[in-house]
Structure 1
Amino acid sequence: MRIYSLFIALIMLSSGVLYAQTSGTITGTVKDAKTGEPLIGATIILEGTNLGAATNVEGRYTINNIPTKTYNVKASFVGFITETKFNVVVRSAGNIELNFELKENVSELDEVTVTPNPFEKLETTPLSIQNLSQEEIAAYPGGNNDIAKVVQSLPGVSGSVGGFRNDVIIRGGAPNENVYFLDGVPIPNINHFSTQGSAGGPVGLLNVSFFEGVTLTASSFGAEYDNVLSGILQFNQRNGNPREFTGNLRISSSEAALTAEGPLFKGDQDIANTTFIASVRRSYLQLLFDVIGLPFLPDYWDFQYKLNHQVNRDNTIYLTGVGAIDDLAINDLEDFDPEQEAIQNQIPVIRQNSNTAGIGWKRQFSDNSGFMETVLSNNTLGNRFYRYDDNVNETGLYLKNESRETETQLRYRVTKFLGNWTASGGFLLINSDYSNNTEDLVNNRQFETDLNFFRYGLHGQVSSNMLNNRVKFSLGLRADGNTFTDTGNELYRTLSPRASVSYTFSENRDWTVNASVGRYYKILPYTTLGFQGNDGSFANKSADYIQSDHAVLGLEYLINQSSRISLEGFFKKYDDYPTSTTDSVSLANKGGGFEVFGSEPVISEGKGRTYGVELLFQQKFTGNFYAVTAFTFYKSEFTNLLGNDYDPAVWDNGVLISLLGGYKFGNNWEVSGRYRFLGKASYAPVDQQATLDNYPAVIKDFNELGTVRLDPFSQLDVRIDKKWSFQKLSLDLFVEIQNVLASANPSEPRYGLDRNEQGEVIMPRQLIRVDTSSEGAVLPSIGIVLNF
């Protein structure tokens, strides 16, 4: 805190010494969203000002001498629908390119005033889709630039309650039911210290400085996406600055990150054909946790990069990647505390490394009749996971999982435009390699796995519009197979039809009804497929793909050019869900803790269902104010091994409420806040006798799942931002106060061995409840972003 105070003092002093710069520049491109063709002479205007520009023969524009504050920027072109970028912050340095992709206006209405819809909708995904801009992510209160936390403000999305976790739970589905794409490159993990076999973890590893925006799809998935049951998060990365070298340094309460970008091989050109953007981030949580006296020390690095080369007008090649190095060590506490001692005993020792790299080729057909995309990628996760009787000295090993999973993927998709019709198709080929060395003394298991097999898929989709663009619809089909499971090559088992329709029924097009149905499949995680019995056989080779059928119906009302209200009802039905023969519980109820998810024998006989309604009000930045209000009421239920009765899932909160809003004052001050409420979550209580017999291993009694629930969760976070602009740099300073109301964080009861005041175990051993704190903590923090 002394360092922060000194830094702030220097900033305040320097603001009177450095030459203040009160203007900035924005640049970018305007293109046809369908063909990628540059639009020459398109007009770009900053709303509420006389500032603007027109695009040149390359579709590029530049607007200079812009006063440094926040704007809505509008791009228009004859015959195309006007698009507005909201909440665009102009600084003296560090402004990213602002690019527009305009859609052709096929409407023949001349006398009726039509309100342009600023909320993205596709024929393939007309509903259950949300978008966040880079500025919305960066300024999110309580988000700490972590995209997994930020998306929890959207309807139907929640996170784990009562733990040091960062899971993304969409409409009651498990965290491993989501997929993630970085510019078309699949990434299996978006968190540090991720749960292998799932995707959750405590801290996000993606740098938001890279993003033009993020798109969340909660249903109505396009046929090109495989292995998804609940949600798709697409991270759309921007290219590096093609004109000059720029970057930023971000320092927060838990980490420091450096990002650099610029042109390569520019020569005498004003705009380079080759650009780069790269970042590296370092945690110092381990230092803070050591000073505070917490029993574990999370230490991590991560990096991210993108290299983009414009070969010619029709061809672009890019290289992108992200990786992380994680080490969760145990802290030897000086003072005895029963709860901290129990955490120290029970938390695993984790050493992880992950890496994803992909190269993509985008080719626009020269006659503008379509395009093709080819992506070759590789992702690797190395996980060393240990549990000891003595974690501090790492002695008494009773669980070891040393594993490595690697995927090499080839994805191809071609899209053709045929009048009002769009048709696309493609294929997927994956080589999967998984090795594992496991010793599990609690469950008497020991095996070594070396598994290599292929996965593949085919997909096709057609979409169109009719009745003067009032009706939009899409039909899709895909099938997936693999060379490992017993029925993996029987593609008829995974035929996945899907259909969506959107009808705008009001004259000025402010009312729209949307609907979609679809069937989706997911192969089991490698931890489950690669599990072996003590006889050396693959115990789950006969497992089926998980099947999920979705039906969604929604109504949207566009209030004006910047706000909307929508209501959606959804129903998801699961079949062939894997159920543990060890714990007699659906795997849908696992994966939310620090464990190796799914490494156990299962049978594909489970069922499940989630259903509910979502109400959303959203206002883009208008009149210095923006807001997102989301209410979700739902049920999430799955069967266990003992019968076909549905029990509440661990993700069944019943009620989700998210309120997000912000106001921008003069002189670049901003105040924002977020409130979240989650209803009572179900959990499996601890089997105290089994835990005492196997301590420090904690054994859950899944037969009692649904009989007990946590208290409701609620939290209010507030953030204050201030921005300064100088001659060659700009500075963003923010102060966050998380949990302003000091609400208690609900958590499951924690048990440990009965000990005396010196921390010595009292004999005979007894298991006692050790969680004593019921008060919430207010967590203030500060962050600095220096743009240069």
Structure 2
Amino acid sequence: MRGITTLFLCLIVSFIGLAQEGTLRGTVTDQKTGEALFGIKVKIVGEDKGAVTDFDGKYEISGLSPKTYALEATGTGYKAEIKYNIVVRSGGNPDVDFVLQEEATDLEGVEIVANPFKKDKETPLSSNKLSQEEIATYPGGNNDIAKVVQSLPGVSGSVGGFRNDVIIRGGAPNENVYYLDGIEIPNINHFSTQGSAGGPVGLLNVSFFEGVTLSTSSFGAQYDNVLSGVLQFEQRTGNAREMKTNFRLSSSEAALTLEGPLFKKDNEEAKTTYIVSARRSYLQFLFQVLDLPFLPDYWDYQYKINHKINKYNELNFTGVGSIDDFAINVPDEFDAEQQATLEQIPVIKQWTTTSGLSWKKRFKDVNGYMLTAVSKNILNNNFKRYQDNINLTGLYLNNESQEQETKARYYYKRFYDKWELAFGGVVQNVDYSNRTTNTVSGFNYENALNFWKYGAFVQASTKVLKDKLSISGGLRFDGNDFTKRGNDIYRTLSPRAALSYSLDKKQRWSLNASVGRYFKLPSYTILGFTDNQGMFANREVDYIQSDHLVAGVEFLLNSSTKFTIEGFYKKYSNYPVSLTDSVSLANLGGDFSVLGNEPVTSIGLGRTYGVELLAQKKFTKHFYGVASVTFYKSEFTSFDEDVYLPSAWDNKVLISLTGGYKFGKNWELSARTRFLGKTPYAPVDVEASEQTYPALVKDYNRLGEEFLASFNQTDIRIDKKWNFEKWTLDIYFEVQNVFGQATPSEPSYGLVQDENGVPVQPTELKQFPSVASGTVLPSLGIVIDF
């Protein structure tokens, strides 16, 4: 009996031992050529474990205890690269790939600090990246990529209002562009504000991403229609060896992600892989239990299929979509303020889809590649406001519209010794239709609009002075065949230049600078607006112009820590100004409405300027952290070009602190703190609103007179991972606004009622006392990988 017991215990110990091991795999390639690199050593930093890549550039390190590592790739003729915060699990480990840069031959014998903070020649500053693990465990993010992005320097969101806008250095939410593996997507949020990009909840699945890169200035010439920021989402490629599953359950949604090989033969890695996910919200059930007056209900999906045709050719088919329903919920018991909220919220039904196919061809002389992509995206928006939201009667605002873009992009890049030359272009067909009834403003029309957009660019980069000085210059133009001056491409010539100079031999100190001119075509809601005579009223609008000047210094303390300081200046011209409300559209787009569906004129000016400080430490010695402070000013004009008013995003101070500490036995504590200075807002014109209620009229001439209090919030998250045989369990507990700090909000208004709850006549508006909420929001989530 004792022998059987001993054997049984030995089997358990053996099982546990096997369950607590993981494997890291990946591929190492050359940055320029994309060629697989043979003989590169990939090792665990601080441990005597590693592997050497084979002829296909692949490596495998097995027998690893489940915990967090740093991984370094080194090879003759290449700069060493370190990847931090690599979490090894017993199951569900994604591949860790390296792309190595060539080392200059005339720098032999010079000890250069390995720099994990990569920067492109075209974007040597104002660029930051979040890794896969940082995205997945971001405190307070609730698995929402739009919230995660707000931890990056110079990025803020709208204060209060259940919004998820991405506001970069004082620019409006619609001044950014988003790319998913090189395929442009029009927005990254559910219930997005048409003509803008924000919404309450992100629609991209964090389980898909290998990393996210944000550039807030110095954009490469290949990017069009951008004024403030370029966000690039890098998706993982599905597992080529076996099927993997990720299931995530959080306080607001459930998500399932599947990946694996297609058409796999025996033990070979498949040439075709897939990764696909679906998410379902249950916020609507929670809101109904809490007896709130609105119910946000959404679905979304995401997919990527990768096929390696041969050594030189690769196809990617990717897409994302959403289905949104923002419905009314009548609470069992509610007061006059809740009644006002119920009367003023819109009814929204919306769906979006984006799909794209890209072909990457590497040249056989391994000195360049070309990328061809075709894509299509659709936004279908049904937006309504009623006099009586309970019975859905008295429709006073109806916007039924659809935007479709069909795009073809071409990108060519060639390497000539130390020179890099790139050129390409884009052709887009736009199909926009709209049926609008607006009894408040007196607009009533139905239209259809179809036109073409196009653009081309060239970019050249090189390194000189023994690779100490990196220089890049580019030029692009854009045009369209709809606006009156759309084909005058000389008006949109947009030059840009960037440089980075290493100030010392170890390349710890560098001076970075960029200057550029960028253009954006106004939104389709503006272009497609039709007056009551059936004419397109805004064909005279021009491309919005923004000139950027940025300069800064970077100091690399060691291989995991950097400090930067940057000064920036953005000057705007040709900004659309509303002829209805006499306000620059740069101040709009941060609410639940339709931006730009009105007559405008391109006479607005603007400027944002400031200084930004950043300290960042990659994960070493159990700790990682990012701290940034941005001091800035954001202001725009309307009809008087000499009068600059603070913009709705002019907080003046933005502070962001994010960090985490990993304890033993796979425990992790992370936290985030954000601070925003006072927010200017346009007060309600009470007299005008009494005539239009439940539509409220804002007095935009008073921007800068009223301010919301400063915003401050701290979120914490605790993760615990368990590793079993071939599967892992991660349970996390998260508390948003842990100190119960008040979230400022604008004053609300409703009708004065008699003792029976009937509005008095004539209509009279009442301002409700402004009560800043300070709700602590705890939540629990689980993640299973197998």
Give the structure-1-normalised TM-score.
Answer: 0.97
Counterpart among 653, 659, 662 of residue 651 in structure 2? 653
**1:145-196 residue CA offsets vs partner (Å, 9 max, x unmatched):** 1111111111111000021100000010000000000011000010000000
Q: 1:474-489 to 2 correspondence within 5 Å?
A: 474-489=472-487
Question: What is the distance in 2 between the residues matched to 1:51 and 1:336?
Answer: 64
Is the 8 Å Cα contact of residues 32 and 367 (structure 2) preserved in structure 1?
no
Q: 1:440 to 1:79 in 2, by over 3 A?
A: same
Offset of residue 41 of structure 1:
1.2
Counterpart among 617, 634, 637 of residue 636 in structure 1? 634
Question: What is the distance in 2 between the residues matched to 1:42 and 1:508?
Answer: 23
Is the 8 Å Cα contact of residues 744 and 773 (structure 2) preserved in structure 1?
no
Residue equivalent to 1:70: 68
Residue equivalent to 1:501: 499
Structure 2 unmatched ranges of 5 or more: 1-11
User: CA RMSD for the aligned pairs?
Assistant: 1.4
Question: What is the distance in 2 between the residues matched to 1:32 and 1:380?
Answer: 37
Residue equivalent to 1:541: 539
Residue equivalent to 2:434: 436
Is the 8 Å Cα contact of residues 751 and 771 (structure 1) preserved in structure 2?
no
Question: What is the distance in 2 between the residues matched to 1:711 and 1:408?
Answer: 44
Question: What is the distance in 1 between the residues matched to 2:661 and 2:217?
Answer: 32
**1:578-605 residue CA offsets vs partner (Å, 9 max, x unmatched):** 1011111100000000000011101100
1:171 aligns with 2:165: no
- State the one-letter code of the partner of 1:257: A
Q: 1:699 to 1:43 in 2, by over 3 A?
A: same
- State the one-letter code of the partner of 1:361: W
Moved more, 122-131 or 110-119: 110-119
1:621 aligns with 2:614: no
**1:398-452 residue CA offsets vs partner (Å, 9 max, x unmatched):** 0000000000000001101111100000110000000000000000100111000
2:135 alignment partner, SS class: helix
Residue equivalent to 1:749: 747
- State the one-letter code of the partner of 1:651: W
- State the one-letter code of the partner of 2:279: R
2:79 alignment partner, SS class: coil
- State the one-letter code of the partner of 1:601: P
1:694 aligns with 2:692: yes
Question: What is the distance in 1 between the residues matched to 2:771 and 2:526?
Answer: 37
Is the 8 Å Cα contact of residues 274 and 309 (structure 1) preserved in structure 2?
yes
Offset of residue 224 of structure 1:
0.3
Is the 8 Å Cα contact of residues 627 and 660 (structure 1) preserved in structure 2?
yes
Offset of residue 131 of structure 1:
0.4
Counterpart among 120, 123, 136 of residue 125 in structure 1? 123
Residue equivalent to 1:91: 89
Offset of residue 18 of structure 1:
8.7
Q: 1:580 to 1:468 in 2, by over 3 A?
A: same
Q: 1:188-587 to 2 correspondence within 5 Å?
A: 188-587=186-585
**1:736-764 residue CA offsets vs partner (Å, 9 max, x unmatched):** 01101111001111111123565432344
Offset of residue 259 of structure 1:
0.2
Moved more, 351-360 or 54-63: 54-63
1:612 alignment partner, SS class: strand
Moved more, 139-148 or 300-309: 139-148
Residue equivalent to 1:46: 44
Offset of residue 339 of structure 1:
2.2
Question: What is the distance in 2 between the residues matched to 1:462 and 1:615?
Answer: 29
Residue equivalent to 1:596: 594
- State the one-letter code of the partner of 2:432: Y
Residue equivalent to 1:139: 137
2:288 alignment partner, SS class: helix
Residue equivalent to 2:8: none
- State the one-letter code of the partner of 2:207: S
Question: What is the distance in 1 between the residues matched to 2:472 and 2:383?
Answer: 45
Question: What is the distance in 2 between the residues matched to 1:628 and 1:775?
Answer: 28
Offset of residue 621 of structure 1:
0.1
Offset of residue 771 of structure 1:
4.8
Q: 1:506 to 1:428 in 2, by over 3 A?
A: same
Offset of residue 269 of structure 1:
4.0
2:248 alignment partner, SS class: strand
Structure 1 unmatched ranges of 5 or more: 1-13
Offset of residue 107 of structure 1:
5.0
Is the 8 Å Cα contact of residues 125 and 221 (structure 1) preserved in structure 2?
yes
Is the 8 Å Cα contact of residues 214 and 234 (structure 1) preserved in structure 2?
yes
Moved more, 756-765 or 541-550: 756-765
Residue equivalent to 1:730: 728
Is the 8 Å Cα contact of residues 339 and 771 (structure 1) preserved in structure 2?
no
Is the 8 Å Cα contact of residues 748 and 770 (structure 2) preserved in structure 1?
no
Q: 1:505 to 1:296 in 2, by over 3 A?
A: same
Residue equivalent to 1:5: none
Residue equivalent to 2:715: 717
Question: What is the distance in 2 between the residues matched to 1:704 and 1:487?
Answer: 34
Question: What is the distance in 1 between the residues matched to 2:677 and 2:636?
Answer: 18
Question: What is the distance in 2 between the residues matched to 1:338 and 1:358?
Answer: 49
1:783 alignment partner, SS class: strand
Question: What is the distance in 2 between the residues matched to 1:71 and 1:483?
Answer: 54
Is the 8 Å Cα contact of residues 117 and 558 (structure 1) preserved in structure 2?
yes
Q: 1:772 to 1:607 in 2, by over 3 A?
A: closer
Residue equivalent to 1:675: 673
Is the 8 Å Cα contact of residues 187 and 356 (structure 1) preserved in structure 2?
yes
Residue equivalent to 1:9: none
Offset of residue 642 of structure 1:
3.8
- State the one-letter code of the partner of 2:685: D
Question: What is the distance in 1 between the residues matched to 2:743 and 2:13?
Answer: 40
Offset of residue 26 of structure 1:
1.2
- State the one-letter code of the partner of 1:440: N
Residue equivalent to 1:60: 58
Instruction: State the aligned residue count.
Output: 775
Offset of residue 19 of structure 1:
8.7
Offset of residue 542 of structure 1:
0.8
Is the 8 Å Cα contact of residues 336 and 758 (structure 1) preserved in structure 2?
no
Is the 8 Å Cα contact of residues 732 and 782 (structure 2) preserved in structure 1?
yes
Offset of residue 144 of structure 1:
1.0
Question: What is the distance in 2 between the residues matched to 1:317 and 1:403?
Answer: 33
Question: What is the distance in 2 between the residues matched to 1:697 and 1:351?
Answer: 20
Question: What is the distance in 2 between the residues matched to 1:779 and 1:469?
Answer: 51
1:153 alignment partner, SS class: coil
Residue equivalent to 1:607: 605
Moved more, 144-153 or 578-587: 144-153
Offset of residue 108 of structure 1:
2.3
2:771 alignment partner, SS class: coil
1:634 alignment partner, SS class: strand
Is the 8 Å Cα contact of residues 746 and 770 (structure 2) preserved in structure 1?
no
Question: What is the distance in 2 between the residues matched to 1:764 and 1:18?
Answer: 77
- State the one-letter code of the partner of 1:428: V
Question: What is the distance in 2 between the residues matched to 1:745 and 1:757?
Answer: 32
Residue equivalent to 1:8: none
Question: What is the distance in 2 between the residues matched to 1:15 and 1:680?
Answer: 59
Offset of residue 50 of structure 1:
1.6
Offset of residue 338 of structure 1:
2.2
1:82 alignment partner, SS class: strand
Q: 1:148-187 to 2 correspondence within 5 Å?
A: 148-187=146-185
Question: What is the distance in 2 between the residues matched to 1:757 and 1:680?
Answer: 38
1:81 alignment partner, SS class: strand
Moved more, 640-649 or 717-726: 640-649
